[in-house]
């Protein structure tokens, strides 16, 4: 184990896991809790499906959230860059006395 690695015990969907990561153990527990919550959400909607299928569906739900957040971030970045360009051009006009 590397010096900067931490060992964390987590429980996901009733199973205990020992995880090694460089991240803070509290962060690892939060991530595990999130995955656990997503699995139970799928289980509530489809209680009779096998665990592997449940894990795949929960993974797809998490990936969907990630993709949507990424797309929103890209839109916000583009909006911010457009505003920065607009403000920069306005400032250039003021500095050169054209405004």
pLDDT tens sequence across 1-19: 677 899 999 999 999 999 9
**Alpha carbon distance 40, 61 (integer Å):** 12
| The pLDDT value given to residue 2 | 74
pLDDT digits (tens, 9 = 90+) for 40-71: 999 999 989 999 999 999 999 999 999 999 99
**How far is residue 44's CA from residue 39's CA, in Å, rounded to a whole number?**
9
pLDDT at 3: 76
Structural domain harbouring 83: 6-95
Number of domains into which the chain is organized? 1
45 located within any domain: yes
Q: Is residue 1 part of a domain?
A: no
- What per-residue confidence (pLDDT) applies to 47? 85
Whole-prediction pTM value?
Answer: 0.79
């Amino acid at each position: 184990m590397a010096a900067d690695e931490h060992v964390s015990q987590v429980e996901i969907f009733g199973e205990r896991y020992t995880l090694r990561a460089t991240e803070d153990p509290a962060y690892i527990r939060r991530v595990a809790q999130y995955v656990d919550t997503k699995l139970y959400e799928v289980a509530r909607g489809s209680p009779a499906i096998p665990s592997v299928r449940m894990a795949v569906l929960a993974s797809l739900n998490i990936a969907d959230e990630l993709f949507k957040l990424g797309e929103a971030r890209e839109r916000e970045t583009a909006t911010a860059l457009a505003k920065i360009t607009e403000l920069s051009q306005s400032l250039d006009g003021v500095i050169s006395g054209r405004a």
